[in-house]
Amino acid sequence: MAKGPEAFRTISEAADEVGVAPHVLRFWETRFSVIRPMKRAGGRRFYRPQDVALLRSLRTLLHDHGRSIRDVQQVCRRDGAKALYALASPIATAPEAGIAFAAEPPQVAQEPSQPPRDEGARTRLAATREDLIAIKLRLDALLAG
């Protein structure tokens, strides 16, 4: 017997609907604060229909559109969960709000580009890197012995 569209889903059922493994959903919970399934006694998770829709949007962004976790986290922090629906498709629906909206994807903040380094700086960086590697090896030897 199939569940109705408004029924809560277990983590296995939600994972099947989204198309990922259950451990991926648990991992996403640690990375995205907007994912908040209801938890029962013993920590058993139940996903509401809007949670499953949000997870589908996340999967689309991460797997289909190739966005990085960091990019999607920045969008969540800056624009909230509704922006994820907008990014996932040109016309998306936010089920908890009952709103459909055409979306121009929000711009993800890009890290400022580094100015080109001069050759002297490059040489100093390489020397510093070598020094740090040597220090790490010495520390590892001290900790091991």
Interior angle at CA 30, CA 26 and CA 31, nearest 5: 115
Residue 104 has pLDDT above 60, yes or no: no
How much is the pTM?
0.58
For the chain, the farthest-separated pair of C-alpha atoms sits apart, in whole angstroms, at 70
* CATH number assigned to the domain covering 9-107: 1.10.1660.10
Residue 114 has pLDDT above 80, yes or no: no
**pLDDT at site 98:** 44
Closest residue by Cα to residue 75 from 109, 50, 113: 109
Place of tokens 């991992």: 27
Return the number of other C-beta atoms located less than 10 Å from residue 58's C-beta: 27
The single-letter DSSP state of residue 7 is S
Distance CA 139, CA 4 (A): 59
Highest mean pLDDT among 12-21, 37-46, 68-77: 12-21
**pLDDT at site 46:** 92
